[in-house]
Amino acid sequence: MMPSFYQNCFQKLLTPTQYKMVQILVLLLQFHKTVTIEKLATVFPQPILFESRRRSIQRFLSLPQLSIQLIWFPLLKQWVKERKLKKGNRLIFAIDRTQWRNQNVFVISLIEDKRAIPIFWQSLAKRGCSNLSEQKALIRPLLRLFKGYQILVLGDREFHSIKLANWLQAKGIDFVLRQKKGTYVRLPNSSFQRLAVLGLVPGVSFFFEQVQFTKQKGFATFNLAGYYPRKYRGKVEPSGWYL
């Protein structure tokens, strides 16, 4: 049902009754493949009224022991040990934000075996893009959880900020952040120009070192890569990638 190290972690943090609740909920989730409390309350094997079962599940899920820091982080540490990922190895993480119904979910995930494993997540109390302070808060747990590993963070165009890049560099974190084509850069021995005029067309790629990004105060120098897949079977991507 659950790996042994999951069971050990739950048993350390929860009372026997609470641990039994976890076991039942996991079984129901696996069988019914639903995460709605109402559905779980309907099928929960407890001889009480539906409303009482629903409130019981809600109270359980609100336990402070079930916080990300107390129950999820120890599981992640143990999972890394189980995978025998040695200190000094490079771990790749992706940051992303998803607007799901009325929830604005901000998450960072470990990329392993072509799968994304959520590491830390937040529900932003607003709509739209994240800001620098929220991005820092999402990434900081990596520094504690994966101390001793080489960290590489990937981000799409929402995370093109030079301020974020400077902060990651100061923390010793490698990164690849996709840039908007309107971003100004200055290649060696040239003036500032937009990325869009660098000639990135299907089938073309390039790489430049020590490129100055943006005309704004606090601009920094980073490497720049461009990639645009060639036309294949009559299909072409709508745009290239500036990284």
Q: Which range has the worst mean pLDDT, 126-130, 131-135, 167-171?
A: 126-130
Take residue 140 and report the two structure tokens written for it.
């900081």
Residue 49 sits at the vertex; the CA angle it makes with 44 and 51, to the nearest 5 degrees, is 85
- In angstroms, the CA 197 to CA 181 distance is 9
Residue 15 pLDDT exceeds 70: yes
Beta strand 241-242 pairing with 220-227: antiparallel
State pLDDT tens for residues 151-167.
999 999 889 888 899 99
Q: Is the pLDDT of residue 217 over 80?
A: no
Residues 6+ apart with CB under 8 A from 240: 200, 201, 202, 204, 226, 227, 228
DSSP, residue by residue, 86-107: -TT-EEEEEEEEEEETTEEEEE
Number of neighbouring beta carbons within 10 Å of residue 35: 9
Give pTM, 2 decimals: 0.85
Distance CA 64, CA 108 (A): 22
Given the DSSP bridges, would you call strands 174-177 and 192-194 parallel, antiparallel or unpaired?
Answer: unpaired
Note whether 243 and 226 are within 8 A (CB).
yes
| Mean local confidence (pLDDT), 224-234 | 87
Please tell me the predicted confidence (pLDDT) of residue 218.
58
Find the mean pLDDT for residues 180-197: 88
DSSP 235: B
- Backbone φ and ψ of 91, nearest 5°: -115, 135
Please, what is the Cα angle at 226 between 128 and 152, to 5 degrees?
65
Query: How does pLDDT run across 60-96, given as a tens digit for each residue?
Result: 999 998 889 888 998 888 888 887 778 888 999 999 9
pLDDT (0 to 100) of residue 152: 95
